[in-house]
Amino acid sequence: MTDPGAFILANTAIKAPPLVPEIRLHLADEVMPLWHATEASLARDGLPPPYWAFAWPGGQALARFILDRPESVRGKRVWDIGAGGGLAAIAALKSGAASVTAFEIDPFAIAAITLNGVVNDAIPRVDPRDVLATAVAGDADLILTGDMCYERPLADSLIAFLRRRAARGVEILLGDPGRAYLPQEALEPVASFAVPTSLDLEDRTMRITAVYRWSAHRAGADEAL
């Protein structure tokens, strides 16, 4: 298997996402060359596409919200679900979270989180387990998740997981630009941002992206136990 860290260093450049200039990440300069390189060299290993190499709108909005409102994470145990390159997790650490665990199953994303943490002097703890399908001991005060509602199976698993955690009293913040399977009925918008995007990744050059708070009352979380 290609070494994840070496692959990231060879195929990305360090730069700041447009909405979050305070944080620098290893990001792809161009979308298609990295995608093709991934397909050519990594497909045989059954690895997912390189989502970790891009700062998606939901993650940018979530990170911007956290940096603008550090009291939202200060002193809290934070979990970042489907952390990608770790943008929201790093924002939480820089804003004073007591601890941050980034859950990611892709070994390349795991390597990216650590490399990005080093660049920003804020390295989250990484947990490679599929937290949506595996019982994980302990709990968080706050769960973050960004841009994970783009396909139904993943969204269904995520929603079921968030519903269970909300029923335990865990606070949840979710960043999303209006993906198809976003559970609108369970969410309360708390902020909105215009996020510049690439036409290689999105169908427009700007996406209005919201940060939502999970509403246990609206979601009927008590019925999930």
The predicted-structure confidence for 72-95, as pLDDT tens digits, reads as follows: 999 999 999 999 999 999 999 999
Mean pLDDT of the chain: 89
Mean pLDDT of 53-77: 97
- Per-residue pLDDT tens digits for 113-129: 999 999 999 999 999 99
CATH code of 55-224, in short, is: 3.40.50.150
Q: Where are the domains of the chain?
A: 55-224
Q: Going edge to edge, which strands form the sheet with 77-81?
A: 125-127, 99-103, 77-81, 142-146, 171-176, 206-214, 187-196
Q: Which of 68-72, 111-115, 131-135, 209-213 has the lowest mean pLDDT?
A: 131-135
Q: What residues does 45 pair with on adjacent strands?
A: none
Q: Where are the alpha helices (DSSP H) in 102-225?
A: 107-119, 152-167, 216-219
